[in-house]
């Protein structure tokens, strides 16, 4: 596949950050046995990866803005462009030695995502996309799954956990979807979940309580793979609202209807 110069920069930066995370991931296994645990170590790995990404991306485009999970936003002098970065999506997985985590890098131009990279260094899977150029995994074109009935589908979601609010709302959504699908999966890394929808591994996905860096690259990846993405109102404001539903044309629509279905009164 042909890549633009900017996408090449994004790929190289994500791989470099991924290699740093891979080295630290190897150390996490040893830290599990300590009473203190690896929490502080993982936090440092996260911040180190973001610093690396910030330096690499702003070295090439110093006038661009930069929004990352671990540091204060940088307002670029460019005004039109912004990097949106998650240096370690799936931190809890990483903390527990589960190889389901990723580096996510997106480029926003005038409020629209125009390029994205998601890289899982543990599996060496690299997802890339540019607006109008299709979606790829390790340079092989990917497409969303073609199933049309929810009853045939495996969908991804988020399971509520300690520290995340709206447990009641999430459990209602899960209750509704459980009765409609062939299976549900919660992998613990939103960026990779969206990449899996783009690759047809998951038929659909929904989640609330997200940030722009969790979903920026994944939303474009799905659209360029022939899929559809919206917020939970059916609009196109996922990056601001922090909620998302995705799938092919049929599954996205059906999943949105089920997720937003009111709970029957007792």
Q: Which residues are annotated as a binding site for Mg(2+)?
A: 69, 86, 88-89, 214
Query: Which stretches of the chain are assigned E, i.e. beta strand?
Result: 65-68, 81-89, 102-109, 112-120, 125-130, 135-137, 140-141, 154-156, 183-185, 204-207, 228-230, 244-247
Distant-in-sequence, close-in-space partners of 114: CB < 8 Å, separation ≥ 6: 107, 108, 130, 131, 220
Burial (Cβ within 10 Å: 0-12, 13-18, ≥19) of residue 112? exposed
Cα(204)–Cα(251) distance, integer angstroms: 6
Q: Per the annotation, where are the binding residues?
A: 69, 86, 88-89, 214
Residue with tokens 């997200």, as numbered in its chain? 210
- Give kind and range of the element (H or E) at residue 31: helix 5-31
Which residues are registered as beta bridge partners of 118? 104, 127
Inter-residue contact 59 to 74 (CB < 8 Å): no
């Amino acid at each position: 596949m042909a890549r633009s110069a900017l996408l090449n920069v994004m790929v190289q930066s994500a791989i470099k950050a991924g290699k740093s995370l891979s080295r630290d991931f190897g150390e996490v296994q040893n830290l599990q046995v300590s009473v203190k645990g690896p929490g502080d170590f993982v936090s440092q790995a996260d911040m180190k990866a973001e610093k690396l990404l910030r330096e690499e991306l702003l070295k090439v485009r110093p006038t661009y803005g930069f929004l990352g999970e671990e540091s204060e936003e940088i307002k670029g002098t460019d005004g039109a462009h912004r990097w949106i970065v998650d240096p370690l999506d799936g931190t809890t997985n990483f903390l527990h030695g589960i190889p389901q985590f990723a580096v996510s890098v997106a480029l926003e131009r005038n409020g629209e995502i125009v390029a994205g990279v998601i890289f899982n260094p543990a599996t060496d899977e690299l997802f890339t996309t540019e607006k109008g150029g299709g979606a790829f995994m390790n340079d092989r074109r990917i497409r969303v799954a073609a199933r049309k009935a929810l009853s045939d589908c495996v969908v991804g979601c988020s399971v509520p956990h300690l520290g995340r609010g709206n447990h009641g709302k999430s459990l209602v959504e899960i209750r509704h979807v459980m009765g409609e699908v062939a299976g549900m999966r919660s992998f613990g890394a939103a960026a990779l979940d969206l990449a899996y929808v783009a690759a047809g591994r998951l038929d659909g996905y929904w989640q609330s309580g997200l940030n722009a860096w969790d979903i920026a690259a994944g939303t474009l990846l799905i659209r360029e793979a022939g899929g559809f993405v919206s917020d939970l109102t059916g609009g196109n404001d996922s990056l601001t609202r922090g909620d998302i539903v995705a799938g092919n044309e049929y599954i996205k629509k059906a999943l949105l209807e089920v997720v937003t279905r009111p709970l029957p009164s007792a």
